[in-house]
Amino acid sequence: MLDPHDADELPGELDPALRDEVAHTTAHAIVHRARATEDPEVVGRLVRLVESEGLDVVAALWSDAAPATLPGALWRLYVLREWVRRDPQTVTLRYRLGVDAAPVHEAIAGVVRPPEPADLRALADSVLSGVFAGDLAVALERAASFCRILATGAAFDADSREVADPDGALRMTRGASSLLRTAEELEHAAVLWRTDRLD
């Protein structure tokens, strides 16, 4: 990889093909090296990648990657973890609102009941740990179930606020739709991983 200072010195925008190649190369290197080492310290550092490198650095690597790719799946997992880390109260509320309507997804996600913010942060960390030291497909499915529960909770929250705050309810409904789409993308990525097609 280029040193950040050297990258800043390059003229113009990065070629899209080169950017795609960098995204895939870094995602594969990180996942496969971590899975080969089995060192819990390495896994812990990778789980905390956004905290040490910043979300902007991770976004520059993977945010443009297609969802049905390894870098695209990793990007979605890191964004989900970062949301849980930055806004645990909202995530906990949405989880509590949605969990009763999604019992199968609750079992797959694997969160204690009733969840506290620390429990949801632990889930986000364990999902990312599973990427690097467990079954990647299972980690993706757990994250997808978590997103489905949050989407259901956001929809219920939007319904309850529709009269008092229609604009806020509309934003929540759009957020629920986005979470549902993310869940579907993560589920598809899990299928691709199981068939050795998650590039």
Looking at residues 59-84, what average pLDDT do you find? 94
Is residue 10 very low, low, confident or very high in pLDDT (cuts 50, 70, 90)? very low
Residue 149 token pair = 């529960």
SS3 30: helix
Residue with tokens 């506290």: 116
- Cα separation, 189 vs 199, whole angstroms: 10
With bands split at pLDDT 50, 70 and 90, how would you rate the model's confidence at 1?
very low
pLDDT confidence of 19, banded at 50, 70, 90?
confident
Q: Residue 67 burial by CB count (10 A; 0-12/13-18/19+): exposed, middle or buried? A: middle
pLDDT band, residue 13 (cuts 50/70/90): low
Tell me the mean pLDDT in the region 144-166. Answer: 95
pLDDT at 166 over 90: yes
The per-residue pLDDT of the chain, averaged, comes to: 89
Nearest to 75 by CA among 143, 21, 8, 123: 143
5: pLDDT strictly greater than 70 = no
Is 80 exceeded by the pLDDT of residue 3? no
Under a CB-based contact definition with an 8 Å cutoff, are residues 80 and 109 in contact?
no
Number of C-beta neighbours around residue 3 at 10 A: 8
Q: How confident is the model over 22-44, as pLDDT tens digits? A: 899 999 999 988 888 878 898 88
Q: Return the pLDDT at 148.
A: 96
pLDDT at 107: 86
Helices (H) and strands (E) in the chain, counts: 11, 0
Higher pLDDT, 9 or 174: 174
> Would you place residue 51 in the very low, low, confident or very high pLDDT band (cuts 50, 70, 90)?
confident
Q: Is 48 exposed, middle or buried (0-12, 13-18, 19+ CB in 10 A)?
A: middle
What mean pLDDT do residues 137-144 have? 95
Asked if the model's pLDDT at residue 4 lies above 80, the reply is no
Mean pLDDT of the region 115-140: 91
Position 173 scores a pLDDT of 96
* Model confidence at 74: pLDDT above 80: yes
The answer to whether residues 190 and 141 touch, using CB atoms and an 8 Å cutoff, is yes
Cα dihedral 6, 9, 10, 13, rounded to 10, equals: 110
Q: Both tokens of residue 199?
A: 């590039």
